[in-house]
A and B are shown apart, each in its own frame.
Chain A
Amino acid sequence: MKEKKLGLWQSKLIIQALQDSVRKLDPRIMIKNPVMFVVEIVSAITLGIAIDDLFTGGAFGFNAQISIWLWFTILFANFAEALAEGQGRAQAESLKKTRSEAVGKRLRADGGIETVSALVLRKGNVVVVEDGEPIPGDGEVIEGVALVDESAITGESAPVIREAGGDRSGVTGGTRVLSGKIKIRITANPGETFFDQMIDMVESAKRQKTPNEKALDILLIGLTATFLTVVVTLKFFAGYMMVSVSIPILVALLVCLMPTTIGGLLPAIGIAGMDRLLQHNFIAMSGRAVEAAGDVDVVLMDKTGTITLGNRMATEFLPADEVREKDFINAALLASLADETPEGRSIVVLAKEGLGVRGRDIRAPEGASFSPFSAETRMSGIDWDSRHIRKGAADAIKNFVMDQGGTMPEKVQQIVAAVSKEGSTPLVVAEDSTVLGVIRLKDVLKEGINERLAQIRRMGIKSVMITGDNPLTAATIAAEAGVGDFVAEAKPSVKLELIRKYQTDGHLVAMIGDGTNDAPALAQADVAVAMNAGTQAAREAANIVDLDSNPSKLLDIVEIGKQILITRGALTTFSVANDVAKYFAILPAIFATQYPLLRVLDIMHLASPQTAVLSAVIFNAIIIPLLIPLALRGVRYRPTTVSALLRRNLLIYGLGGLLVPFIGIKTLDLVIAALNLV
């Protein structure tokens, strides 16, 4: 996987974000974020008081500084959101750029071809794309086969085959046909393509809040309402106790207590999560799907392509009795020369290794003719002169040699049985009536799959492998790879049933699919990832599309989903824990003049009541930009036990949130006192 990561602090993004953060001060936009909206109202009140002070000779200097920092608190929050938006937009734009100028050759109803701009192509239009031309829009190949360069979206330079009919029929606008001629049926109107959807998800104005964000919003509004009550009633309690508190100081206390840190960063966290998905070359159809990914506890994965390399490989030659190994290998090699299947090629590779020959010095004998694999014979091979070499499944070869008057030796049958029992596939080679030996074909695990599956297990997720293999083979692979469970001899419909069964038990199921027959299961799964190269049906049924078409990337989605949630939780905890220190700074500042006994609360020994209030307000403001990198990058998730994870995050963000502001406020107080600001 290649990450096309854009620098967080690119100057262009920053300038745009700075502009946006001022633009977002518009109350009509602010009201979407209730916590910061309240801050804006009280900041406006403070500003009014400060201006009034200017004419009436009140504490202008102090009140003006409070007001300024309150406005900065809002601007910082807006900046975080704007920066995340800008990042996402830039990411999406860079993916999208290639396509806007594109033109497409549209097939008219009368069969003629017209050249039109990509922007006028509608769903259902058919376009023809030939060598060297860009694909004008998202669609499905309905005729032909072509080599397509998808590096513009995946960053992968190796071209891929896209052809009609199979599970590799999906094409994306902005990619380019290198060779071949295909007809594509366009499947999305302009403005509704994957990219357009993705861009909507990183624009806060169009973005839907996820249920989890709404729930957290409710908690933050509740806290805000409580602190509003605390501060307003404090005015009366203090009045009874002969302490008068100015409005700007009450406002300062209110804003410090309110969960502005998380309130200000909350939109940015969600948007940044989408940005990270884009960086990993995923396109999500909804924020909800991404958060659900964090909850997934069952993952269905196809064996082929996810756990094992696409195909079986030859790993061993087992000659029959009285057959020289070299002859057997030679025959196997000849029989496979024309076999373009991956299995066939792997036999050639292993045979060359076994014979100690290299390169292209092996050639088929003059006048040889190949007999390709067919469903009836279930064998393939080579014929020349009067020799016939065949390789195939044991029973097919048995029929072949018996037709020639030969027999299947006992020993070979034993080898076949043994190989099967070990979960491998035996392939028998015979020349005319003589059985030469058995080739062991084995599934080869993808590199690093063990480790990934172990990670999945540590996350508390159960992995289920689905394969058409017999139970024996399936069990061998499952044990080797370390999957939690497997379903063997699976028919295509089994996935849907399995997902339903798990869901009835309350599990959240993720699956990856690419084929049309995966579509119902994808539609049923809670987190459904479709390969971008997959069929249109699969892509429509899914809620996340993987541009790289790399099935083992599911883990990345789970991780990103978890990161979004952890970041929210961590910053909420941090924000609330901060309040303790702020009380200890501001309460003595308010009361200690009238009641010197309450200086015991001034455990930070701040310079003066004014410096105390101001440093608390400044700390509250600047903690937001300081945490922007964390909000955008996300709190790191490491697969470990949940209790360990929770303990760790509580220590860092709970205990840390308790202590950090004491240090921060004290430091700011020293600076403010030294600069004589108030």
Chain B
Amino acid sequence: MTIRDAIPIILFLCVLTLAAVLLGGFMTMVFTGKRTFLTRIAGPTEKFLYRLFGVDKEDEMSWKTYTLSLVIFNAMGIVVLFVLQLTQGVLPFNPQRFGAVRWDTALNTAISFVTNTNWQAYGGEQTMSYFTQMVGITVQNFLSAAVGLAAVVALIRGFIRKSVKTIGNFWVDLTRAVLYVLLPLAIIWALVLASQGVVQTLSPATHVQTLEGREQIIAVGPVASQVAIKQLGTNGGGFFNANSAHPFESPTPLTDFMEVFALLLIPAALPFMLGGMLKKRRQGWAFFAAMMVLFLLGLTVTLWAEAQGSPILEKMGILHGANMEGKEARFGVVHSILFAQSTTATACGAVNSMHDSLMPLSGLVLLFNMAIGEVIFGGVGVGLVGMIIYAILTMFLAGLMIGRTPEFIGKKLEPYEMIMSVIAILSSAIVMLVLASLAIATRAGLAGLNNAGPHGLSEILYAYASTANNNGSAFAGLNANTPFYNLTTACAMLVGRFTTIIPALAIAGSLAKKKVVPISAGIFPTTNMLFVVMLVSVVIIVGALTFFPALTLGPLLEHLFVQVGKTF
């Protein structure tokens, strides 16, 4: 790691921040119903959709109606995607003639894509027809991201409104998220990616004769359109099993850059949308700063760990310097790590290197990024939701320590908000630990392991951290396409997603009903450095206290073993 390596990262982050500020401003206009330059194009479609589904856009919903609409919408999504996979054999656009997907895999996949996790127990190019990929998976890539946006917009409204019962209209928020934000960005990205050589075709896989005279099957398909939204919507479910490490998903350094940029873009823009909607720009910057600090901390550790390289390989005289195992030579260490850090910090889960082959300490950071609940930028919408809930916890303690009954952005934090915040923050951690311990203690769970000792533990922890926090990336090394893993990870994904969104909407409903506490000298300003430091500390401390024992036995112990030359 040299200064030369740091420059592109710094440049990247500066460009990202600039784009995030602009997109945040744009999304503020979209979700406050203002006219934008896209209104002329998307407006008629929007109106048509409302008429088609009988949505009255002025019809505001209570949090319960909002939640019910969201849950029913997602339940329908799961059913449709599940049925689609079971019947793909008789449906069109199936040049490879794939049969029905096994029921447990199909159920897992349906839940996975609807919850914006995109955990893939299957290999895309060997399992899913083009029809399933396009109509099922890509559609859910859009919709699950839009649901996340709707959730955060509703939560922010809870802070803005006073003494009312409603938090917006779910169908309107969903429609606007797709038409004004996700679709336009996805179109731009798909075109640029396709121009760089990402495949976009409906023809079947190509069979070619290799130089050795053997036949090779080269899988293709409507890739660019799916990859664009998989990154932008922090979905992460690749068209190919190898995900963004596959040359047809990311052929060039530019596409690699575009893809990392895309997966961070919306999550990073959301704090600025919050600032815009609240008309408190500094509050947006404070959230962004907290996320950025956590991001850079993780990035520093992983870059350092990889740059150290493996003492084992070094001793064997095979390799000096940075750890290249499991990385695409096209991208190198810095790009691979930037991607890995970004994909776990956001709930994306796309990969361009094999996380299983990272140094144990890097694996620890990636695990930690996910286990704290995907709040370092996080998933589209839900990342900021998680961070806001951490901020509620932070301000509960901070409020007490300045001698006031706690409040945040002008709203009093009372028992109801605390119940919901505690559920939102702790349930995914609890479900992750419980399911991981179930896997590690049962024959069915251990059957999936390819590695023993601490590395095996890390693989299982990673699987449940990834699913319970709706990331979806895999550590590899774990064969997860078994009924046991399909069902337990599906359970983790459902809990992870809905114990964040539903409590958040409940908080929104409760906050909207409250009066606004006016700003006075007696109130702690939640826009200064001290707030950022406290928020970052609370996130780290909650995570560290919850996962210290498990991480000690997994990646930390493995790290110590590697230092003395032992692997698993």
Contact = CB atoms under 8 A, between A and B. Distances in A.
Interface of A: 211-212, 214-216, 218-219, 221-222, 225-227, 229-230, 232-241, 243, 257, 291-292, 294-295, 297, 459-462, 505-507, 561-563, 565-566, 568-570, 572-573, 576-577, 579-580, 583, 587, 591, 595, 597-598, 600-601, 637, 641-643, 645-647, 649-650, 653
Nearest to A583: B548
A236 B552 contact: no
B418 A219 contact: yes
Contacts of B521: 460, 641-642
B518 A505 contact: yes
Chain A interface mostly = helix
Contacts of B438: 236
Given A240-B440, A460-B520, A650 B545 contact: no
B326 interface: no
Interface stretch (B124-132, B258-266, B395-403): B395-403
B405 A565 contact: yes
A647 B396 CA distance: 15
Contact of A506 (B436, B515, B528, B544): B515
Most buried by A among B404, B417, B552: B404
Given A297-B520, A649-B402, 14 more contacts: A211-B414, A211-B415, A226-B429, A243-B553, A460-B521, A460-B523, A506-B410, A566-B400, A591-B553, A595-B557, A597-B564, A598-B560, A637-B403, A645-B401
Interface string B13-39: 000000000000000000000000000
B384 to A, nearest CB: 21
B560 A643 contact: no
9 contacts: A212-B414, A225-B426, A235-B437, A236-B441, A292-B405, A506-B518, A563-B403, A598-B560, A642-B525
Interface of B: 162, 393, 396-406, 410, 413-415, 417-419, 422-423, 425-426, 429-430, 433-434, 436-438, 440-441, 446, 453-454, 456-457, 515-518, 520-525, 528, 530, 534, 541, 544-546, 548-550, 552-554, 556-557, 560-561, 564
A652 B430 CA distance: 31
A616 B438 CA distance: 29
B400 to A, nearest CB: 3
Contact of A219 (B396, B399, B402, B430): B396
Given A215-B415, A597-B561, A649 B401 contact: yes
Contacts of A595: 557, 560
Contacts of A580: 544-545
A63 B561 CA distance: 32
A233 B397 contact: no
A583 B545 CA distance: 8
B405 A294 contact: yes
Contacts of A568: 400
A218 B422 contact: yes
Chain B interface mostly = helix
A598 B548 CA distance: 13
Contacts of B456: 240
B393 A569 contact: no
Contacts of B516: 506
A236 B435 CA distance: 11
Contacts of B404: 294-295, 562, 565
B93 to A, nearest CB: 44
B534 A650 contact: yes
Contacts of B523: 460, 642
Contacts of A577: 541
B401 A569 contact: yes
A291 B404 CA distance: 8
A215 B552 contact: no
A459 B402 CA distance: 10
Contacts of B560: 595, 597-598, 600
A218 B414 CA distance: 10
Contacts of B524: 642-643, 646
Contacts of B399: 565, 569
B525 A643 contact: yes
A291 B526 CA distance: 22
A460 B433 CA distance: 45
B401 A598 contact: no
A326 to B, nearest CB: 53
Contacts of B401: 566, 569-570, 573, 645-646, 649-650, 653
A226 B430 contact: yes
Given A215-B396, A215-B413, A565-B405, A238 B564 contact: no
Contacts of A222: 422-423, 425-426
